[in-house]
Each structure stands twice: as C-alpha cells, then as structure tokens.
C-alpha cells in the first residue's frame, strides 16, 4: 500500500470543497438548504473540536455560544443598521469573549465542574432569551433580514457559496494553528497538564484561548445560521443542540482535523433522511453518542487513521542536520552557583514533606539526591519546578529568586525536568513531544501561527531541526513520528530527557530516570547524562536508587531522610557516612 | 417581616428536596468521579412512574412510591452495568458524556411515549393552608419536608452504619485500598448507581405535587447539584446545607427580583462559587497530588 497520505487527504478536502461549491447547480432548494446547514454545523463542530478534541476541555454549552453569535448578528442588523458582513464577525467576537470568560473558572477546576459550568451557561443563555421579551420577543423569536450585497438580497445559492468560503477559511486557519506552537500546547494540555506546565506552557492562557476560539467558531456558526434561516428563536439553541455538536465531533473523530466535516455532514443529513419527529432524532442522537463512546471513541476518522496512516519519512530530513552541534552559547563555569535552595519547608496538612532543606548546585555540576521512599525527593523537585509552593524558604536560579514565578515561567527561566511516573504526551508523536519542550523557546504568537507568517515558518523550522537533533542525541531519531505512548518503557524515559532538554535548561532535574531500565539501558543513560553536561552545558539534579549509577556519575550526593537533609558530600564521603548507612545505604547494600 | 419568614420557610422546604436529589449526585461523584447528567431524568422518571402506579394502576400511595423508587433504582443499576461499567477506565470526559447521552435518551423516550403532556400529581396531604406564627403552611408542604428529611437522614445512617454503605464510603476515599480490603468495586458502583437513582426518583415523587410533571422537569435535579457545590461537594453535611441555602436564596430571588429569573440566579451563583471558592462554603479542599 504505497500511497502518500498527505496528498490523498488534500485531494479529499479539495474534492469535498468542489462538491460543496457545485451543490447549488444541481440540488433543489430544500436539499441545498440542508447542505448549507450542514456546513454551518461543521463550523460549530470545528469549535467543539478545538475546545474538546484538541485541548481536552469538556464543553456542553456550545449552543449557547452559537445563540450569542446569532442574536448579536440579528440584533445589530435590526437595531444598529449593521450590514450582515460586519455583524457576523462581531457576533463571533462576542461569543469568543464569553468563551474566554467561561474558561476562567475552568483554570483551577476539573472536568466535573467545567461540564456543569458550560452546561449551566448554555441553559442560562436560553432562559434569558426566553424571558427577555424586550430584547428579541422572547420565545417567539425574531426575523432576520436577508444578507445584502450591493443593495441586492443574496440568493440561497450565493449564501451557500459564502458559507462554504467561510468554512474553508476557518479550516485553513485552524490547521495552521493546530500544527503550530499553540496547537501543540492544546494537545499537551489534554494529554498531561502537569507536564505541559513543567515544559513552559502557560496553562491558563492556553485553556482560555481554547475556550475563546471554540466559542468564537460557534458564534460565527450561529450568525451564519441566522443569515441562512432568516429567523431565530431560543429553541434553536437548547441543550440538545449542544449535545448534537458534541456527538458530531465524536462521530467524526474528536481531535482529528477531518472529524467535524465527517461528523457534521453525517448527523445533519441523516436525520433529514429519517424525517422523524424531533424526539426521535434526539433519541437517535443520544443512542449514537452512547454507542460511539463505548465502541468507537476515536470516531470514523480515527478508525481510518489507525488503519491507513503512514508515518512520514523524517530520516532524510535529518541528513542535513549538523551533528557537531555543541552548544557554544552555554559554557558552564563550575565555580559559579546555579541553584540555591534555602531553608525550604513543605507540608501537606500536618504531614511535613520537607523540613528546612538547603542545598546548592554549581554550573555544570551533576548532583544526586538519594534517600528512602517518602524522603521528600520528588517533593523537592516539585517545589523547585513550581508545582508545589513551599510553606517557607527561598529558591534562586543563577542569582535570581524564582519564588514569585509559576511553573511555566520557571521552565522558561531554565528549570526543566522529567517525571518519575512518565508524563509524556502519549497521543502526540515523539517529535511533537520534544517540540512542546521547546514551547518557551518559540516566540510565535497565535496570530502569526494562524496565518503562517514568514518569521513563524522560519522559527518553527529551526525548532524542528533542533528537536530532531535532540531525538538523535538520545537515540530516538527513527521513532520521531511514532506515537510517544507506543514507545517502549526505556525509550519513553529517554524521550522525556530529550523533551526536557528542548527548553535549553540551565538545570535539568531527572526524577528516577533509571527506574525500570535494564543494565545496558542504565549504561547508555549514564553516557547521556554525562553528555548533557558537556554538550548542552546544563547542571543535572538526579534522583536515583541505582547506587552504581549515582556513585559513578555524581560530583556530589545529597541524602534526604524524612524530609531532612542528613548528608551532602562527595560520593566517597557519603558511602562512609554513618548516618547515611544507617538510614539508607545499609538496606541497599544488603539487598 | 412575616413575609420574610414565609420566604425563608418555603425556601427551606424547596431546599430539603434539593438535598434529596443533590445527595444522589454527591454519592455517584464520590465513588466514581463522575457527574451524572442523567440524575434529573431519573427524578422525572420516578415522578411519572409513581403517577402511573398511583393513578392508572390504582395502587396505594406507599406502594406506588416504593415501586417507582425500586424500578428507577433497577434502571440505574442496569445502566451502570451496560453503559458506565464498560467505560470505567475511559477518561472522565467520556463518562460524563455517556451520562449526558443516557439522559437525552430517557428524556426523548418519555416524550415519545407521553408526548409533552403536562400532568399533575394529586396531593398526598391536604392543601388547605393554616398559619403558624404568621407563616402560612399546608399539610402538603410540611409532610413533604418531613418525608424528605426522613429520607436524607435514613441515607446518611445507611452510609455510616451498614456494610454496603461503608463499602461505598471506602470506595469513595481510596479505590485501591478498598479493593484490597475485600470491597468489590463493581458491586459497590452498581449499588451506588442504584441507590442514587432511587433517591432521585424519591425526590421526583415528593416534588411532583408542588410543580407539574413534564419530560423536562429533570432540570430541577440540577438544582440539587448546584446546592451541593454551593455547600461543598465532597462532604455530605456540606452538600445538604448548601441545598437548603440554595432553596432559600432562590425563593428570595424569586420574590425580590423576578420569578422567571430565579433559575438565572441559581446558575449565576454556581459560576460565582466556582470562581471564588470552588471547595464550597462549608466544604474542604480536595487533597491535591502531583
């Protein structure tokens, strides 16, 4: 089976657009209306796909955003004398603002609350529209004047073309965004929020952007719906409509680019063919949704993707990479202090995880932290990287206090890490994982990405070749386009190191990188950690239980026990330290 | 001043019903981490079934009440088995959407069977008003409140003092440790869904004479959810207190602002609470782990 997926899918999209544009010539009035409606729904579902499919934020209120778009467009035309063409983007914008605001409570809350907040929002919008007679006649709805161009009303044919053009434009913009820094941050958020933060992704900004963007698309769909039907009432935006959007997104394939097209088209046209009463359609939607969730959660496009997708060949691309890439910009000066932790204490409830811990790491130094389970090693990492805030104490990196900064800001200040229990972005490729690591290194704004401006392309290309270089460094180049979740355990550990290095860290914290590796793999890991210092100039803070690795690699070893630092010295001195042997080493050498 | 007390008392009555349905949300969430969007539909179904048993089959009220709760409880258990258990390992979003799908199916199925017919549940107790200390009451409202408080109390005792209840509590606090101590998670979840569905049905039957029965009456179930969030979703006493508070706030808003905007007020309150203090007014913060 040797065909190029990329060109095949471009051909499919082009074919669909051609069919959509040819439709007015062949279809009678009502089928054409249904087709236009399907394209409008596809736009709304594209919004759901951004919020829920890519960014992983549940939304049960997209019909509410569509209502805001529709009513804003209609009211601006009726009372403000705006033209449809200016009222439509205004409606999309207002819906986007509401989405952004609704994203704010989602920042600190889990899917439980987010689902209820979005549901409640959609419910309240309909309730207000039904009861506010002065605004737009309450439940009776309002007529919308036909959109005009040069003083003439648009025919349904012309309006259909317009809807298709809008849809194509939004899909192109979305595709650009999804393949850029922003889109990777969306998916990273979905796959592991904690890792996204540690890699420098501003989770707050990313979540609100995902909500705002998804809502704006729904708002535009609502405005187009108003222009298409020329009549709107609250019934067109009830909860059931939000569920339909979600069902369309999942039927097509949540998080797949073509998903909204397949899902939106199928679930708009199919019920029309059945011609049943509204309640039968709702029953069908509910049933289809439940069956999809149980039996086909990746949707139709996901099914095809898993079957036929072909990994692009990146090996050829790599030939052009200069492999001597020693980073000359960072030359460690081992006499200069890089990290200083002063008197840090951390407790959960009444349980103290860290008690007055102080330590220093110099530039280019490899320092290991050892200690029995529950000694506070990972808590220390979480405190340094900003995932936990300590009860007291101070942390400085290169002389700069970092306490006031959040995790993603600290990542950009040069602190990077891996995770004990592997927090890879499972459903992204190895290459994209590393590119998320470079999130703070790329400065492209969403606008630049949406329109693929020249500077954006250049910076993306630079980071891409650097990411490939890092994959080569850890020996995973051949797996660049594989799903991270499909890699072997050892490879996943190495991939986390490559991802952590992509942010050009001054301090690399490795949380049990050797856990679960066999002895050959541990040997390779030791080489890589040594090279991290010479090649990338980073200091390494290492948590490990494998004493051979610790003693062979470390310039210095720090021992934690019950949250207290009980020793700090050269590997040789630690091995002789009575307190350490008593608390920890004794057990290990007997084992 | 009498009017204020009147509003307060009838708000408290509403709150006791919210507490009944709100506890169902809390139970399911605590053990399965799912917010059940079909809880309102269970409430609606409970009311409709009880009406059918009572009015069409001419069963005595008590039997109709119990029969409806048992039927809806069995439906809850059935749904857990066929729809939610296969998704136990799926992301939470998937499970939440599954409850949304189930709710939609029940709602539209009822609409297909009954149309959008509006029915009234014949009042169980007399509705002639009497006055106590300036506050007007009816035997119906007082009886309803006593019944719902009795049910809430019975549930709390059930969770605290029976083996099954303690199993539910254990599964809520630590799923793995509960399994190791011999609590069957599948069985516990099945029971949780059954009990909370039956609870919703009971709330539906009790609330039915005070409002009208329609396929969309389930929306009132979500008030229980909001009340529970308001008080603190993770603790049972907090959730109950929040439901009472919500009933009172709604009634105040209904009187001083507008009856139609009552629901807007409660959902506005939900947003406000979630932004300002997501652990609820009387609740505690969920322990966070990285």
Q: How confident is the model at residue B1 (pLDDT cuts 50, 70, 90)?
A: low
Residues A322-366: pLDDT tens digits?
544 555 555 677 778 899 999 999 998 778 899 999 999 999 899
* CATH topology match: A6-274+302-308 vs A337-585: no
How many Å apart are CA A378 and CA A370, to the nearest integer? 10
| Interchain proximity A294–B86, CB inside 8 Å | yes
Q: What percentage of residues in chain A have a pLDDT greater than 90?
A: 61
Q: How confident is the model at residue A69 (pLDDT cuts 50, 70, 90)?
A: very high
Mean pLDDT of A575-589: 74
- pLDDT at position A385: 93
Compute the mean pLDDT over every residue in chain B, rounded to the nearest whole number.
85
Contact (CB<8Å) A58/B29: no
| Minimal C-alpha gap between B260 and chain A (Å) | 7
Listed residue (A238, A506, A482) closest to A365, CA to CA = A506
Pairs across A and B, CB distance < 8 A: 125
Quick check: B86 and A243 CB within 8 A?
no
In angstroms, the separation between the Cα of residue B239 and the nearest Cα of chain A is 15
- Under the banding of pLDDT at 50, 70 and 90, the label for residue A43 is very high
CB spacing of B229 vs A113 below 8 angstroms: yes
Give the pLDDT score at A318: 55
Judge whether residue A321 has pLDDT over 70: no
- Checking ipTM against 0.90, whether it exceeds it is no
Could A119 and B37 be called an inter-chain contact, meaning their C-beta atoms sit closer than 8 Å?
Answer: yes
Find the range with the poorest average confidence among A48-57, A502-511, A543-552.
A543-552
Closest CB from B97, B109, B270 relative to A120: B270
Tell me how close the Cα of B60 comes to any Cα of chain A, in angstroms: 33
CA distance A239 to A64: 8
Query: Who among A110, A250, A294 is closest to B87 (CB)?
Result: A294
Is the pLDDT at A191 greater than 90? The verdict is: yes
Q: Is A390 left (phi over 0), alpha (psi -120 to 50) or beta?
A: beta
At A237 the pLDDT is: 95
Instruction: Give me the pLDDT at residue A480, please.
Output: 92
| Range with the largest mean pLDDT of A314-328, B48-62, B135-149, B263-277 | B48-62
A261-312 pLDDT, tens digit per residue, is 999 999 999 888 877 777 888 898 899 999 999 999 999 998 888 777 666 6
Interface of B with A in 14-53 (CB under 8 A): 29, 33-35, 37
Check if CATH label 2.60.40 holds for domain A6-274+302-308.
no
More confident: A533 or A64: A64
**Quick one: how many helices (H) and strands (E) in chain B?**
11, 2
Homologous superfamily (CATH) for A337-585? P-loop containing nucleotide triphosphate hydrolases (3.40.50.300)
Query: Could you read off the pLDDT of B226-267 as tens digits, one per residue?
Result: 898 888 877 888 888 999 999 998 888 888 777 777 778 888
B113 touches chain A (CB under 8 A): no
Band the pLDDT of A590: cuts 50, 70, 90: very low
Q: What is the pLDDT of residue A1?
A: 37
Residues of B in contact with A387 (CB under 8 A): 290
Residue A26 pLDDT > 80, yes or no?
A: yes
Range name among A44-58, A254-268, A409-423, B269-283 with the lowest pLDDT average: B269-283
pLDDT score of A494: 94
Residues B27-77 pLDDT 10s: 888 777 788 899 999 999 999 999 999 989 999 988 999 999 999 999 999
Name the closest residue on chain A to residue B259, using Cα atoms: A131
Highest mean pLDDT (candidates A42-56, A541-555, B114-128): A42-56
Q: Do A194 and B290 touch (CB under 8 A)?
A: yes
Question: Which of A100, A203, A267, A293 has the highest number of chain B CBs within 10 A, making it the mutation to test binding with B?
Answer: A293
Those residues whose C-beta lies under 8 Å from the C-beta of residue B205, and which sit 6 or more positions away, are B46, B47, B50, B64, B65, B68, B69, B121
Helix A489-501 vs helix A430-437: crossing angle, to nearest 10: 30
Cα–Cα distance for residue pair A128/B265, rounded to 1 Å: 11
At B11 the pLDDT is 86
Q: Which of A128, A286, A294 is the closest to B264 by Cβ?
A: A128
**Closest residue to B278, CB basis, from A108, A287, A378:** A108
Evaluate whether B231 touches B242 at the Cβ level (below 8 Å): yes
Flag if B104 and A240 touch (Cβ within 8 Å).
yes
> Given pLDDT bands bounded at 50, 70 and 90, which one contains residue B284?
low
Which residue does chain B place closest to A116, by CA atoms?
B35
Cβ separation A109–B274 shorter than 8 A: yes
List pLDDT tens digits, range A161-173: 999 999 999 999 9
Q: Is residue A416 pLDDT above 90, yes or no?
A: yes
Give the pLDDT of residue A3: 47
DSSP B158-211: HHHHSHHHHHHHHHHH-HHHHHHTT--HHHHHHHHHHHHHHHHHHHHHHHGGGS
- Using CA atoms, how far apart are residues B22 and B43, in angstroms rounded to an integer? 11
- pLDDT, position A5: 58
Length of chain B counted residue by residue: 290
pLDDT band of residue B290 (cuts 50, 70, 90) is very low
Q: Identify which has the larger pLDDT, A513 or B20.
A: A513
**CB-closest option in A120, A123, A388 to B290:** A388
More confident residue, A222 or A106: A222
- Find residues 469-498 of chain A whose CB sits inside 8 Å of chain B: none
Chain B closest CA to A495's CA: distance in Å?
20
Q: Count other Cβ atoms within 10 Å, centred on residue A489.
A: 12
Convert the pLDDT of each residue in A84-100 to its tens digit: 999 999 999 999 999 99
pLDDT of B187 strictly over 90: no
Using DSSP bridges, classify how beta strands A231-232 and A337-348 pair: parallel, antiparallel or unpaired: unpaired
For chain A, give the mean pLDDT.
89
What average pLDDT does range A405-418 have in this prediction?
A: 93
User: Which stretches does DSSP call E strand in A41-146?
Assistant: 142-143
Tokens 């011609």 appear where?
A275
Is A244 a residue whose pLDDT tops 50?
A: yes
Residue B116 has pLDDT above 80, yes or no: no
Q: Is A427 on the interface with B (CB under 8 A)?
A: no
Q: Give the model's pLDDT for residue A253.
A: 92
According to the model, what pLDDT value does residue A314 have?
60
CB of B262 within 8 Å of any CB in chain A?
no
> Of B102, B270, B290, which has the smallest distance from its Cβ to A290's Cβ?
B102
What is the C-alpha separation between A204 and A235, in angstroms, rounded? 33
Domain ranges, ordered by start, for chain A: 6-274+302-308, 337-585
pLDDT, position A591: 38
């Amino acid at each position: 089976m040797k065909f190029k997926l990329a060109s095949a899918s471009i051909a499919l999209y082009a074919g669909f657009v051609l069919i959509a544009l040819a439709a007015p010539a062949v279809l009678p009035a009502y089928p054409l209306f249904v087709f236009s409606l399907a394209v409008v729904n596809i736009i709304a579902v594209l919004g759901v796909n951004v919020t829920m499919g890519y960014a992983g934020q549940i939304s049960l209120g997209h019909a509410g955003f569509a209502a805001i778009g529709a009513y804003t467009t209609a009211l601006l035309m009726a009372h403000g004398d705006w033209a449809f063409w200016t009222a439509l983007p205004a409606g999309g914008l207002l819906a986007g603002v509401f989405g952004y605001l609704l994203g704010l409570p989602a920042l600190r809350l889990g899917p439980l609350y987010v689902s209820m907040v979005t549901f409640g929002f959609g419910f309240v919008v309909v309730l207000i529209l039904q009861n506010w007679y002065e605004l737009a006649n309450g439940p009776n709805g309002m007529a919308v004047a036909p959109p005009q161009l040069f003083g003439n009303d648009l025919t349904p044919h012309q309006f259909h073309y317009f809807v298709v053009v809008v849809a194509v434009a939004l899909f192109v913009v979305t595709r650009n965004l999804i393949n850029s820094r922003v889109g990777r941050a969306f998916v990273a958020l979905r796959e592991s929020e904690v890792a996204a933060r540690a890699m420098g992704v501003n989770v707050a900004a990313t979540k609100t952007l995902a909500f705002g963007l998804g809502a704006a698309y729904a708002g535009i769909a609502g405005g187009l719906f108003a222009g298409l039907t020329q009549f709107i009432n609250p019934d067109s935006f009830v909860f059931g409509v939000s569920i339909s959007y979600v069902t369309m997104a999942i039927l097509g394939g949540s998080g797949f680019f073509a998903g909204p097209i397949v899902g939106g088209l199928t679930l708009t046209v199919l019920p029309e063919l059945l011609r049943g009463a509204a309640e039968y359609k709702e029953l069908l939607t509910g049933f289809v949704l439940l069956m999809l969730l149980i039996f086909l959660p990746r949707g139709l496009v996901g099914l095809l993707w898993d079957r036929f997708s072909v990994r692009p060949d990146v090996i050829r691309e790599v030939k052009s990479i200069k492999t001597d890439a020693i980073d000359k910009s960072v030359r460690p000066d081992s006499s200069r202090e890089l990290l200083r932790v002063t008197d840090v204490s951390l407790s959960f409830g009444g349980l103290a995880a860290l008690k007055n811990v102080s330590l220093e790491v110099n530039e280019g130094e490899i320092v290991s932290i050892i200690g029995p389970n529950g000694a506070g090693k990972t808590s220390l990492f979480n405190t340094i990287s900003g995932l936990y805030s300590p009860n007291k104490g101070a942390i400085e990196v290169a002389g700069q206090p970092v306490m006031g900064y959040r995790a993603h800001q600290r990542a950009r200040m040069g602190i990077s890490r891996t995770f004990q229990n592997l927090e890879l972005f499972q459903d992204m490729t190895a290459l994209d994982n590393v590119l998320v690591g470079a999130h703070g290194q790329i400065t492209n704004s969403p606008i630049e990405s949406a329109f693929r401006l020249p500077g954006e392309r250049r910076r993306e290309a630079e980071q891409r070749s650097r990411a490939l270089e890092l994959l080569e460094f850890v020996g995973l180049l051949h797996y660049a386009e594989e799903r991270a979740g499909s890699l072997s355990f050892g490879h996943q550990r190495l991939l986390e190191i490559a991802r952590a290095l992509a942010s050009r860290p001054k301090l690399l914290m490795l949380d049990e990188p050797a856990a679960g590796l066999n002895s050959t793999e541990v040997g390779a890991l030791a080489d890589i950690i040594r090279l991290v210092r010479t090649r990338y100039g980073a200091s390494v803070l290492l948590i490990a239980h494998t004493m051979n690795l610790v003693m062979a690699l470390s310039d210095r070893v720090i021992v934690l026990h019950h949250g207290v630092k009980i020793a700090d010295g050269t590997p040789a001195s630690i091995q002789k330290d009575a307190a350490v042997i008593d608390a920890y080493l004794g057990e290990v050498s007997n084992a | 001043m009498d009017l204020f007390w009147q509003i307060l008392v009838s708000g408290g009555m509403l709150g006791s019903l919210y507490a009944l349905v709100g506890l169902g949300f809390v139970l399911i969430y605590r053990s399965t981490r799912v917010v059940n969007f079909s809880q309102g539909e269970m409430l609606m179904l409970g009311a409709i079934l009880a009406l059918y048993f009572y009015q069409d089959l001419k069963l005595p009220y008590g039997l109709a009440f119990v029969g409806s709760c048992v039927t809806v409880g069995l439906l809850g258990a059935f749904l857990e088995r066929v729809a939610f258990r296969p998704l136990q390992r799926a992301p939470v979003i998937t499970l939440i959407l599954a409850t949304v799908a189930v709710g939609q199916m029940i709602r539209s199925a009822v609409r297909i069977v009954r149309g959008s017919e509006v029915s009234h549940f014949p009042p169980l107790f007399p509705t002639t008003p009497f006055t106590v200390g300036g506050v007007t009451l009816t035997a119906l409202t007082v009886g309803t409140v006593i019944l719902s408080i009795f049910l809430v109390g019975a549930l709390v005792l059930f969770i605290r003092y029976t083996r099954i209840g303690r199993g539910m509590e254990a599964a809520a606090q630590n799923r793995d440790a509960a399994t190791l101590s011999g609590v069957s998670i599948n069985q516990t979840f099945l029971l949780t869904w059954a009990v909370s569905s039956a609870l919703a049905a009971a709330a539906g039957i009790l609330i039915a004479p005070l409002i009208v029965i329609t396929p969309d009456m389930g929306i009132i179930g979500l008030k229980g959810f909001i009340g529970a969030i308001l008080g603190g979703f993770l603790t049972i006493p907090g959730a109950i207190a929040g439901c009472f508070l919500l009933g009172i706030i709604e009634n105040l808003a209904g009187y001083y602002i507008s009856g139609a905007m009552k629901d807007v007020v409660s959902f506005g309150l939900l947003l406000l609470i979630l932004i300002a203090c997501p652990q609820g007014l009387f609740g505690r913060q969920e322990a966070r782990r990285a």
